[in-house]
Structure 1
Amino acid sequence: MPPATPTALLWTLPLVAVHATSKFSFPSTARGILSFAVPSILSPSPTKPVSQRPIDPQIAAQRASTDCLDGLRGVAAFAVMIFHYSLHAYPDIRDAYGYNGNANLLQLPLVKIWYSGGFMVFLFFVISGYVLSARAVRLMLRRDRDRILPVLSSMTFRRVVRLGLPSVVMSFVGLLCQRAELLEKPWPHYVPGLWFDIRFYLENLRDLFTFYKWTQFHIYYLPPLWTIAVEFRCSMILFLLLLGIARCRTGPRLLIEALVFADSMLHDRWDMGCFVLGLVVAEIHVGTQEAKAQLGKEEGLLHNADASDSFQYYSDADATSQRRRRILKKLGLWACFIAGMYLGSVPTDHTCETPGYIALCSITSHKEKWRYIALPGSFLIVFSILYLPILQRPLVAPAARYLGRVSYALYLVHELVNMLIGEGIRNAGWALVGETGLMFHVGYVLGLAFYVSLCLWLADMFMRAVDMPATNLARWLEEKCVDKS
């Protein structure tokens, strides 16, 4: 066959272009983009589950009892978003009812907690402590110690990718916005330039995932990433703690956890204290689940052995005392929840000058006293929710579960949106209705509604484009790197 001449090649170029256009047509590309832009809650995935195997009822019950924590994490992320947006409209939002004659009913305890961004971070950390510990604790209670090391190894390996990839991507978007001069300068005399901007960005990222620096992390491009740095370090310490106590009996294990918690308090590591309290909640809750499962097996054996009559007689005789214990238990759990809500409403500003919290400031000598009031509050709330089905129901509702799915993406996305156009959204709301009297609050609500809708939409796309692929990438890397022999 003769070689193609330049003229022949020129004739083929239009054909190649037509073929490429037919494969990558603008309409199909536009449809794909529009389809991706539709929030996942409005377009359920048509894909079927990979496995159709029936789930063990016991495992299903265990999962259902902790699904509420996903919803709680989503509600907490939503509250942080509200707090950061509202902070610019209401500068005294960190104060509480009673301080300096403040009579704003929205700042009363048990009300203020719903937009208390600082306290929600405590809930994040306690929930993380529980979720990261629960499986290992269950294996310890079952004395299935051969599986603990693979579980801890897997979680440790995947943690940095799971946390890191979405954080780096979102902070890089912040860098692009800064390069486009859409963000304020880091300092007044900052001189932008490509090389200097890149170096400044990398210097900002340097301490995001490190074991060697425990001072509070701050990144100009995305300030909320300070909690991700804390999450990573405390996760690693928690995995080390779980590895160390994996072969211990329950009593010594709880003692070691108490000592680690006390050491965290002595060294002003409230963040690590949250993770340890999450581990303690896992010890209690998973222990209760395992005890119930064991009791169910024993009752089944009694029934199979024709001992059901004597068991029923015992149950009838003890019914009154059991009912009394259930009532007392429920009252105690509600008391824990209300106490946790009160402690979680602690103001982050003027804590020791606010009636109702002055006496609580004496529990610690550390500088940020409000953190050591909020700390037990987060423990009590998570603990009580796990045992009160009436509190779990709203947290497993579709809206809360959706917030739980997008919680990480929402946490990363919302502040950059606030930095870019938050002020413009607030001003637009006030431009529509005015800034005086009641109209100030109406304009704020109008802007908030648009801001929340925009953040949820962007977070949904970020979850599907970055967050979920990061989880899959971490799993794929583990499969490729782990020696299975």
Structure 2
Amino acid sequence: MPPIEEEKRRAFLVEDRGSDSESDNSSIWGDVEARFGRIQWAATTKAYSNLVLRRIAVFLLPSFIHHRFSPARERRSDNTSNGAKTLSPTAYLDGMRGLAAFFFSKYTSLWRLPFVRLLYSGPSMVCVFFVISGYALSLRPLQLARKRNSEAFARTTSSLVFRRFFRLYLPPVISTLGVALLLRWGAYEGTREFIKDRTFTKNVIEHHPVRLDSLSAQLTHWGHEMWAFLHIWSWANHAGSTQYDVHLWTIPLEFRCSMVLFLILIGTARLRDNVRLVVVGLLSWFVLRNDRWEMLLFLAGMTIADLDLRRNAHNGHEGRGNTAGSSSPQPTLQLPLDEKTKPILPASQERSTSDSFWTLVSIFALYLLSCPDAGPWDVPGWRYLGTLIPTWFTEKYRFWQVVGACLFYLGHLSYAVYLMHGPVTHVLGYPVQRWAWGITGVEGSGFKSGVVLAAIINIPLVVWAADIFWRAVDIPSVRFAKWLESKLSV
């Protein structure tokens, strides 16, 4: 073969092999890319799944430890650049209101002695809760009214009025919907007969919600209950109670009292300080004489807030939540325990006198708060006080509890504890109680020992569920109300 032809043939073969090689390479790389794409998709899916599962796990942890697993989120949620959160003027009430909500959730008694019984006395804590609500709602408007800042007062009060409905009603609507779904899933059936057994339930038999035949029937019934729950105009006792959580009877009362309180704040905003105290005092007598103890407690909270502002109880407290190195400490308003330190008398003498007086007042108030829920007439130490209860006061056992709450006022989880303790008790609490009594027995001291044993488990369960509800529902409800107000306001 001539050299030229041989060269052409070789060139053709090389070109042909190159073409085949490119085709083969293209096929191989296409396969690799496809496989890599599948691997990458699988890896991405796994990463997102792990992230979702991790966030769910972190969310289910109690809030006081879950920030350790999500520091970035905590840093973003802080109100200050150095990581310290700014407290509101009523932040110090959170603890006491939380305790009040927790004690209100107790469903059985251990001891009946004064002071000790406050560890489980629900009605007494309702009174404390209402005083705190009156205080917390009144403090900021009263501050602005005293400064004669009409524009800020109007804006603040308008915001409180607008957001109050969502703050009070949105979380219980969601919690009771959860109860309706749990009913249909059979979560309440395991304890339905147990709570009717007088061997175990020696006090009030709590209402167990009715399970209907279908989900649509259950949700329709829940809708009717919620419509009745929104009806705030009935003055009958426990009128706002819903079958899906009988403990929610206080919500319509609190909403109604809040609206009246806002009206009184607006009506007295331009009065002189002393005149306002007199007017609110007369209104307090009026509502008490008309048997509206709940409104009296709100007005008591308003009066205490006004008196605190008059004596500058919230001034001069520097924030203690700031880290070292902060350029300008953020002022926070703490519980006013050290306001009486002006050197009119020797400091130690003045502090000792004032502390002794308020300690005695607090002890007396706690004693009044300990009034037996069944009434004081046949109880040693209470018979005489029982004779002093006015005849026109309907819920007579509550009279001295109301007086005690007015004398002794001191919540994030408070509302959530209140909403969650009923469902948690029915679904998990009663089975734990039945298990505990199965170990201790119900005769003699065994009954109380079973209550204590169950409480060791049930109390953390309620707090855990309340913590989740607080972050999942309560906080978003507050944010929703603020967002909606911002969208609808001028």
Deviation at 1:477, TM superposition (A): 0.8
Paired residues of 2:163 and 2:481 also in contact (CA < 8 A): yes
Partner of 1:390: none
Please tell me whether residue 423 in structure 1 is matched to residue 430 in structure 2. Answer: yes
Deviation at 1:181, TM superposition (A): 3.7
Within-5 A mapping of 1:4-403: 19=41, 22-23=44-45, 25-44=48-67, 46=71, 47-48=74-75, 49=77, 51-52=79-80, 63=89, 66-81=90-105, 83-84=106-107, 87=108, 90=109, 106-183=111-188, 192-215=213-236, 216=238, 217-289=240-312, 319-320=345-346, 325-361=350-386, 362-365=388-391, 366-382=393-409, 385=410
Deviation at 1:142, TM superposition (A): 2.0
Deviation at 1:122, TM superposition (A): 0.6
Deviation at 1:19, TM superposition (A): 4.7
Please tell me whether residue 469 in structure 1 is matched to residue 456 in structure 2. Answer: no
> For residues 189-231 of structure 1, what are the alpha-carbon distances to aligned partners after superposition, in whole Å with 9 as ceiling and x for unaligned?
9863444433321221123334432332111111111112211
C-alpha distance in structure 1 between counterparts of 2:122 and 2:413, whole Å: 17
Which range is displaced more, 279-288 or 204-213? 204-213
Percent identity, please.
Answer: 32
In structure 2, do the counterparts of structure 1 residues 152 and 354 end up closer, same or farther at CA, with 3 Å as the change threshold?
Answer: same
Deviation at 1:233, TM superposition (A): 1.1
After superposition, the CA RMSD in angstroms is 3.0
Partner of 1:99: none
Which range is displaced more, 331-340 or 211-220? 211-220
Paired residues of 1:343 and 1:376 also in contact (CA < 8 A): yes
C-alpha distance in structure 1 between counterparts of 2:308 and 2:278, whole Å: 17
Matched to 1:331, the amino acid is: S
Paired residues of 1:430 and 1:439 also in contact (CA < 8 A): yes
1:440 counterpart (436, 444, 447)? 447
Deviation at 1:130, TM superposition (A): 0.1
Larger radius of gyration: 2
Partner of 1:453: 460
C-alpha distance in structure 2 between counterparts of 1:188 and 1:448, whole Å: 23
Paired residues of 2:135 and 2:302 also in contact (CA < 8 A): yes
TM-score, normalization by structure 2:
0.75
C-alpha distance in structure 1 between counterparts of 2:427 and 2:165, whole Å: 28
C-alpha distance in structure 2 between counterparts of 1:440 and 1:211, whole Å: 40
Gaps of 5+ in 1: 1-11, 94-105, 294-314, 386-403
SS in 1 for 2:413: helix
In structure 2, do the counterparts of structure 1 residues 200 and 327 end up closer, same or farther at CA, with 3 Å as the change threshold?
Answer: same
Paired residues of 1:209 and 1:232 also in contact (CA < 8 A): no
Paired residues of 1:162 and 1:474 also in contact (CA < 8 A): yes
Paired residues of 1:432 and 1:443 also in contact (CA < 8 A): yes
Partner of 1:5: none
**Misfit runs of 4+, over 4 Å:** 15-21, 184-191, 290-293, 322-326
In structure 2, do the counterparts of structure 1 residues 50 and 30 end up closer, same or farther at CA, with 3 Å as the change threshold?
Answer: closer
Paired residues of 1:208 and 1:229 also in contact (CA < 8 A): yes
Considering Cα pairs closer than 8 Å and 6+ residues apart, tell me whether 1 or 2 has the greater RCO. Answer: 1
In structure 2, do the counterparts of structure 1 residues 264 and 121 end up closer, same or farther at CA, with 3 Å as the change threshold?
Answer: same
The structure where helix makes up a greater share of residues is: 1
Deviation at 1:356, TM superposition (A): 2.3
Paired residues of 1:425 and 1:447 also in contact (CA < 8 A): yes
> For residues 223-275 of structure 1, what are the alpha-carbon distances to aligned partners after superposition, in whole Å with 9 as ceiling and x for unaligned?
11111221111111111110111111112211221122112112211111110
Which range is displaced more, 422-431 or 239-248? 422-431
SS in 2 for 1:478: helix
Equivalences, count: 402
In structure 2, do the counterparts of structure 1 residues 190 and 158 end up closer, same or farther at CA, with 3 Å as the change threshold?
Answer: closer
